[in-house]
Structure 1
């Protein structure tokens, strides 16, 4: 079984958080004026949409590589719908466009990436999230 982990800490002088994995970082914050947010980074909903779309971009590259083809361009847009209290993501729609050289079945690359996408498949299946206060 593979595992991954990330860490998050508050950013001094703000109410934002800095998240990192290895040498990669990003800032998570609320919109300006909401619960002390300063709009310094992505909010949770945006992070979910970015995870879905970002994973899919990687999956397109993995699939293309396995098929021995190269994609020239990739465009992925993700829209999420939120409802309820607490607010929950109830649906996500991903619009995908890719181009490749002549003879490449881009639709097949997209179909295979959809079948293999770690984040999309995880969200579809659902998984428990446990909070442990230390």
Structure 2
């Protein structure tokens, strides 16, 4: 079993937060004027979309490497649908385009990636999120 630790703390003088894992950081905030947000960083829905799309982009590279396939270009758009009160993400749609360096068809690469993508599979299977002490 593998565990990844993420830390989040408030940013002094703002109502935004800074998140980090290892040496990588990002700013988390709400839209300007929303609950004190200043629009300094990504909101939760944007982070969810980035998680899904970013993970898929990385997984495309893993699958391509297994096949000795060089990728020239990746283009991924993610649409996250939000509904309800409290608001929840009810759907996410990925639009994926991949161009191989040798011009070969990448349909099977995309299909295989969808089968092994960590974020996609975790969400589709219903990841458990609980509060600790």
After TM superposition, the score normalised by the length of structure 2 is 0.97
Distance in 2 between residues matched to 1:12 and 1:18, nearest whole Å: 10
Report the aligned-residue RMSD: 1.0
Give 1:61's aligned residue: 61
1:75 paired with 2:101, answer no
Shift of 1:29: 0.1
Stretches of structure 1 that go unaligned for 5 or more consecutive residues are none
Stretches of structure 2 that go unaligned for 5 or more consecutive residues are none
- Map Cα deviations across residues 38-92 of structure 1 (whole Å, 9 max, x no partner): 0000000000000000000000000000011111000000001011111010000
Distance in 1 between residues matched to 2:102 and 2:52, nearest whole Å: 28
- Count, aligned residues: 133
Distance in 2 between residues matched to 1:131 and 1:101, nearest whole Å: 45
User: Contact 1:69/1:104 (CA < 8 Å) preserved in 2?
Assistant: no
Give 2:125's aligned residue: 125
Give 2:115's aligned residue: 115
- Map Cα deviations across residues 5-60 of structure 1 (whole Å, 9 max, x no partner): 10000000000000000110000000010110000000000000000000000000
